[in-house]
Structure 1
Amino acid sequence: MALARGADMQGPEAWLPLLLLASLAGRCPAGELEAPELVTVVLGQDARLPCLYRGGPGEQVAQVAWARAAAGEGARELALLHAQYGLHVGPAYEGRVERPPARGPPDGPLDGAVLLRNAVQADEGEYECRVSTFPAGSFQARLRLRVLVPPLPSLNPGPALEEGQGLTLAASCTAEGSPAPNVTWDTEVKGTMSSRAFEHSRSAAVTSEFRLVPSRSMNGRPLTCVVSHPGLLQDQRLTHTLHVAYLAEASVRGLEDQKLWQTGREGATLRCLSEGQPPPTYNWTRLDGPLPSGVRADGDTLGFPPLTAEHSGVYVCRVSNDLSWRESQVTVEVLDPEAASGKQVDLVSASVVVVGVIAGLLLCLLVVVVVLMSRYHRRKAQQMTQKYEEELTLTRENSIRRLHSHHSDPRSQPEESVGLRAEGHPDSLKDNSSCSVMSEEPEGRSYSTLTTVREIETQTELLAPSPGCERAAGEDCDEGIKQAMSHFVQENGTLRAKPTGNGIYINGRGHLV
C-alpha cells in the first residue's frame, strides 16, 4: 500500500521507493535484457524505445524505469512502468510518452518499451533502461536515439539567360538537414556544377550551383535538382525549366513562285518566319509608302485582297522582343498576264535582233580581217619582188662591168695556161646545167642567182665570135679565143680562174669567167 501511495505522489518523492526496490539484487541466475544500440527516427515521427527482459522460470519483473543520460547533468527521468500500477511519466515528458501496443502474449515477459511521441532534435541522445526483477535483481541497458532531420530543398533560378552570354549561373539548389544531405543535378543540358557545405550545431546545409553557356537549344529544357537523405523514403526532385532569351533571324515566305502573283489572284499572303524567347511580335510595313488599301496584317501573316498593280512594292517584316529585333524584306511584283505575253513576244523579237546584229558584226569583222590580210600579203610580195629586182639589177651591172674589164685588159696571157674541156664548140661556156654565179661588190656583198649566170652567158654570146668570123677572119677569131682562155687554168678536167683582181666567182665549184 505504501508503494501504491508512493505511485500516486508527484515529484522526486514518488521515485524513491521504486528506485530502492529496483536496486535490490539477488543471488539467482541472471536473465537476458534485449535492447538495440541505436534507434533512428525521423523528425516529427514517434520513436519506439524497446527494452525486453527474458528471465528464467519463476522470475518476476517488478518495474522498468527509463531515464535520459545527459552528459554533465545527470539522469533525467523519462517514465516508470510498474507491473501493478502501470505507467508513470516524468514531468519533462508529460503527454509525450506512452506504452506502445503489446506485441507478445499477455502472459509473456514484460515488454518495457515506451513510445516517445513527435520526436524532435532535442530528443536525440542516450537513454537508459533499468529492469528490476525478483529475485534476480536489476538489469540495465543503454541505447542511442538518433533523430533524422530530412531536408527541405529549395531551388533558386539564376539571372536571366540570354544567348551569347558566357558561363552563367542557371540555378542553385540548397538543402539543410541532419545529417548533411546529398545534392546532385539531373539534366541533359551541358554545364558544370559545384557544391559547398555549411555546418550548424544540429544540422548541415549543402548548396549546389549549376552553370552553363546559354544557347537557344537549351530553351525549354528541364534542369532538375536531386536531393537524397536517410530521412527520405525517396529522393526529392525539384525541376526548373530553362528560359534562354534569343531571337532568330527573320525570313518571309510566299513568293516562292513569282508567276502566281498575277492580277486578279485571291488569297495571296506573305508569312514572316521567326522564333524567339520571349515570343516575338511582328510588324509589317511597306518601304515605299503605307500599306495599300485592303492589305491586312495579322501577326506574322500579311493578307492581300484580289491582286492589282498597286500591290507591287517592297514589304518589310520587323520582328522584335525584349532582347533584340530582326528585319526581312521582299519585293512583290504583280504581273499582268496580257502584258507578260506581250513582253515575252517583244523579248523574242529583241533576242532575234540582237543575234542578227551580233552575226552582222562578226561578218563585217571577218571581211575586214580578210581584206587586211590580203593587202598585207600583196604588199609583202611587192616588197620581195622589188628587192629581188634590185638585187638582180645590181648583179647584172657588176657582171657586165667585169666582163668589159676582161676584154679591155691589155695584158697577154700564155696560151698553154688555158685548158678548156670543150666538146665541140667554144660555146660550151654557155652550159648552165648546174652553174650559179656569185658576184662581189666593192663593199663585200655577194649575190647568187641563176639568172645572173644566164645574163653572163648572154653577154658571152654577144662577145663570142660568130660563125661568119671563122669564114671571114679565122685568124682573128682564134686570137680572141686564146686571149679569153688565157685567164683560166685547167685542173683535173675543170677550168679554174687565175688569181686576179677581176675574176667573177660563178658557183662553189671554182668556175671563173
Structure 2
Amino acid sequence: MRKTPAWRLLLLLTGLQASRIPIRQPARVQVLRGSATSLSCLFNHSLANDRKIFYRWVRVDAGQGAEPKRLDIKSNLTQTFIPDTNVSQFNILGHFGSVELTHSGTYRCEVTIPAPGRSSSGLGPGTQLDVHAPPSVSIAPSTQEVVLKGRTLTLTCEVSGYHPKGVSIAWLYPTNRTVTSGAKWSSERAAPGPGFRMTGYLDLHPRAADHRVRYSCQVNHSTLRSPITKDFNFLLKYGPTNQEVFQRSSPLGHFSPLSGWYASAPVGSFLELRCVVESSPPSRVQWFDPHRAVRAEGLHSNATLTLDPLGALDSGLYACVASNVHWSQEQEIQVEALSPASLSARWVTYPLFTLTVAGMHIWSSRHRGARSHRPEGDDAR
C-alpha cells in the first residue's frame, strides 16, 4: 500500500484546495550506457520561496496498472526570474551519474507547493529515458589448429548486451569479400543480462590454401560509429599434399617440372630430381632407389636426389615418400640411363617410325578421296 506524504495529508485535513501547476518535460532523452545525463522538469510559479516547494521523481514502468515508483535521484532546483513579472521559472534537474540499461523507463516529476488558503500541485507528462548500449563481440575459436582431412570447422560470432535491437553480422574473407556459403544467424533474443543478443555461425571446410588465411566477423549497430571486427586466423595442420617432382641436367641449370613421371638421361651425364610437397607441419621427404634403399632425405617438405654421374645400373623405379604426423604420400618415378647404343637406336627407329606413320596417313587420305569421286555408274555395276 502506498504511503501518503505528510504534506499531502495536511492538505486533505485542512480542506485546502489545490490549483494545478502546468509542468513541461522533454518527451524523450537518449543516452549511451555508462554516460551521465539529467532529466529536466520546468514549471512557472509566483512563489519565490523554494523552501515551500516539495518535489520528487517517480518512475512509471510499462504495463497496465503499474504503480509509480518513488526514486532517490539526486536533484536540484533552480529559479530564474522572468523580467517585468512576479513569476519565476523553476527547473528541477534529476541527475544520473552513470546510466545503465536498467534505468530505461518513463520518469515523471511531481511538484506540490502547500500554502495557507491555497496550494498548488502538478505531475509532469513524463520523459522516456532510452538507454542505448553498444554490443560486445567475441569470436570462437579465437585461434584453431585443424587437421585438414575430413574436418569441418564452425566459427561462432557472439554479439550481446546491446540495446535497442537491430544488430547485423557479416562474415568476411580476405579483401573484405562477404562470405555467404555456410553462413547462418540466430534471431535476436533477450540476453541473460540487460539488452539483447544474437549469434552468427560460419561452417568451413578448410583446405591447405586456407593456412594463415584470415576470416572476420563484422558487427554493425546504431550505437557504433564504425563496425566492430573480430578476426580468426587459420593455423592448419595437414599431411603432405600437392606433391611435385622437378628435374635438371646440370648443377647450374634450373629445375623444370617433370612430366609423365619418367626421367631419362645418357649414361655418364648429370641428373638431379627434386621432390616437393605442401604440408603443415613440414614433412620428411625421402628418395628410395629400386632396391628400397634411402638415397636422399630432407626434413623441410623437399628432398633432392642427385645421380652424378648417372650409371647404367641406376635405371629403375624410384619412389619419393613424404610423411608427417598426419599421413604420408608416395610418388614413383621411372629413371632410365640411356646407353650410346640405345641412343643410336632411337635416332634410327624414331625417324623411320615417323615416316611410316606419315606415309600411312597420306595413303589413307588419298584412298578416301578416290572413293568419294567414283562415278555413279561404278556403284550401279
Q: With structure 2 as the length reference, what TM-score do the two structures score?
A: 0.59
Picking from 215, 219, 223, the partner of 2:215 is: 223
Separation in 2, partners of 1:201, 1:296: 60
Picking from 327, 331, 334, the partner of 1:328 is: 331
Q: Taking every aligned residue pair, what percent have the same amino acid on both sides?
A: 19
Q: Which runs of 5+ in 2 are unaligned?
A: 61-65, 80-87, 173-177, 249-257, 354-381
Q: 1:218 to 1:306 in 2, by over 3 A?
A: closer
Tell me what 1:113 maps to: 93
Tell me what 1:297 maps to: 298
Separation in 2, partners of 1:223, 1:303: 40
CA offset digits 1:207-253 (Å, max 9, x no partner): 23223555556555543323333444433222324566575342211
Separation in 2, partners of 1:204, 1:143: 23
The AA in structure 1 aligned to 2:71 is R
Q: 1:222 to 1:119 in 2, by over 3 A?
A: same
Separation in 1, partners of 2:216, 2:348: 72
Picking from 241, 244, 248, the partner of 2:241 is: 248
The size of the alignment, in residue pairs, is: 301
Picking from 195, 203, 207, the partner of 1:203 is: 195
After superposition, the CA RMSD in angstroms is 4.7
Tell me what 2:273 maps to: 270
CA offset digits 1:17-64 (Å, max 9, x no partner): 79989xx99879x77x442223233332223223344x48x7758368
What's the offset of the Cα at 1:186?
2.3
Tell me what 2:130 maps to: 146
Q: 1:289 to 1:17 in 2, by over 3 A?
A: same
What's the offset of the Cα at 1:290?
2.8
Q: Does 1:37 align with 2:27?
A: yes
Q: Greater strand percent: which structure? A: 2
The AA in structure 1 aligned to 2:33 is L
Picking from 146, 156, 178, the partner of 2:140 is: 156
Q: 1:180 to 1:161 in 2, by over 3 A?
A: farther
- Cα contact 1:47–1:116 (8 A) shared by 2: yes
Q: Does 1:191 align with 2:185?
A: no
Larger Rg: 1
Separation in 1, partners of 2:304, 2:72: 85
The alignment partner of 2:134 has SS state of coil
What's the offset of the Cα at 1:118?
1.7
Q: 1:26 to 1:154 in 2, by over 3 A?
A: same
Picking from 92, 102, 127, the partner of 2:107 is: 127
Tell me what 1:49 maps to: 39
What's the offset of the Cα at 1:82?
4.1
Tell me what 1:421 maps to: none
The AA in structure 2 aligned to 1:119 is V
The AA in structure 2 aligned to 1:182 is V
Q: Which runs of 5+ in 1 are unaligned?
A: 1-11, 85-107, 356-513
Tell me what 1:316 maps to: 319
- Cα contact 2:189–2:198 (8 A) shared by 1: yes
Separation in 2, partners of 1:271, 1:218: 25
What's the offset of the Cα at 1:113?
2.6
The AA in structure 2 aligned to 1:118 is S
Picking from 42, 49, 57, the partner of 1:67 is: 57
Tell me what 1:407 maps to: none
What's the offset of the Cα at 1:114?
3.5
The alignment partner of 1:35 has SS state of coil
Q: With structure 1 as the length reference, what TM-score do the two structures score?
A: 0.46
- Cα contact 2:58–2:107 (8 A) shared by 1: yes
What's the offset of the Cα at 1:263?
3.2
What's the offset of the Cα at 1:198?
4.4
Q: 1:36 to 1:183 in 2, by over 3 A?
A: same
| Correspondence list, 1:78-477, <5 A | 78-83=73-78, 110-130=90-110, 137-141=120-124, 142-157=126-141, 160=146, 162-164=148-150, 168=152, 170-177=154-161, 178-180=163-165, 182-187=167-172, 188-189=178-179, 190-199=181-190, 200=192, 202-212=194-204, 215=207, 220-242=212-234, 245=238, 247-254=240-247, 256=258, 263=268, 265=270, 269-276=272-279, 278-287=280-289, 288-292=291-295, 297=298, 299=300, 300-302=302-304, 304=306, 306-309=308-311, 313-333=316-336, 340=340, 343-345=342-344
The AA in structure 2 aligned to 1:320 is S
CA offset digits 1:450-498 (Å, max 9, x no partner): xxxxxxxxxxxxxxxxxxxxxxxxxxxxxxxxxxxxxxxxxxxxxxxxx
Q: Greater helix percent: which structure? A: 1
- Cα contact 1:173–1:183 (8 A) shared by 2: no
CA offset digits 1:80-101 (Å, max 9, x no partner): 42459xxxxxxxxxxxxxxxxx
The AA in structure 2 aligned to 1:174 is E
Tell me what 1:363 maps to: none
